[in-house]
Structure 1
Amino acid sequence: MHKGFIITASVLGAVAVGLGAFGAHGLKSLASPAQLTTYETAVKYQFYHVFALLLTALLYAHFPVNGVIVSGKMFIAGMAIFSGSLYLLTFLQIAGYNQFYWLGAITPIGGLLLVLAWVWLAISVYRYNG
């Protein structure tokens, strides 16, 4: 078990619940349908990968290799970049700062990290010889 990943996943899960509730109630009157969709995508992917991080923490007990740790760190970075850029983009657009549209170009970097984290996790577990 990797205690740090469990704590991080718990905090990020609580944040996802809070941001999801805020989006469902607080943003409805402020955001356009497209902005709400972007925001909801950020919340969904954060939630999905909170569970991935929990899984990674639990897998580490059975597969205690560095690759599992790297995978967990990539999940965290991917969530921060993917969901974080979408949250920021949505809030800036609602505030009228449309010149920051380029933040959307950062989002795929986070998505790539999430994909790589899954692949790295699979490879690390596959190669484990314990």
Structure 2
Amino acid sequence: MKLFLLLGVLNGFLAVALGAFGAHGLEGKLTEKMLGIWDKAVTYQMFHTMALLVTGLLFAKIQSSGMTWAGWMFFVGIVLFSGSLYIYSLSGLKLFAMITPIGGVAFLAGWILLGYAVMKHL
């Protein structure tokens, strides 16, 4: 699905930009702990950007609802997992850190759905 490819490209750009911002713009402004959290958000965003791109490419061969749901779960996971960690590292508000596991579950669901779609259709 072209949308997943576009979301992958957009998230790849954002992951690189946010990684650079964390390394250069936030150095000395956040504690080491919060910079580590920022880095974790960037890392998970980039890994799941690749998953979005793979899902978009595989969709040309496997057009199934499982594949569609996998792509959406990866995107929702990026927003909830990485997004909540970005906000938490900047604000220190633990409320945002409590959202992070929901994003992690979305990532897990995405991987399960992707695996299921691949096993069923390839």
TM-score (norm 2): 0.96
Corresponding residue of 1:96? none
Alignment of 1:84-99 (within 5 A): 84-93=83-92
Tell me the secondary structure at the aligned position of residue 4 of structure 1.
helix
If you compute each CA radius of gyration, which structure gives the higher value, 1 or 2?
1
Corresponding residue of 2:97? 104
> Which structure 1 residue ranges, 4+ long, deviate > 6 Å from structure 2?
none
Corresponding residue of 1:118? 111
Corresponding residue of 2:44? 45
Corresponding residue of 2:20? 21
Q: CA deviation at 1:104?
A: 1.1
Q: Deviations over 1:32-85 (max 9, x none)?
A: 000000000000000000000000001111111111011000000000000000
- Structure 2 counterpart of 1:13, one-letter code: G
Matched residues in 1 for 2:96 and 2:56: separation?
A: 30
The two structures, once aligned, show a CA RMSD in angstroms of 1.0
Tell me the secondary structure at the aligned position of residue 62 of structure 1.
coil
- Structure 1 counterpart of 2:49, one-letter code: V
Alignment of 1:45-64 (within 5 A): 45-64=44-63
Q: CA deviation at 1:89?
A: 0.4
- Number of matched pairs: 122
Instruction: Report the identity percentage.
Output: 39
Corresponding residue of 1:77? 76
Matched residues in 1 for 2:75 and 2:116: separation?
A: 18
Q: CA deviation at 1:124?
A: 1.5
Tell me the secondary structure at the aligned position of residue 119 of structure 2.
helix
Q: CA deviation at 1:125?
A: 1.8
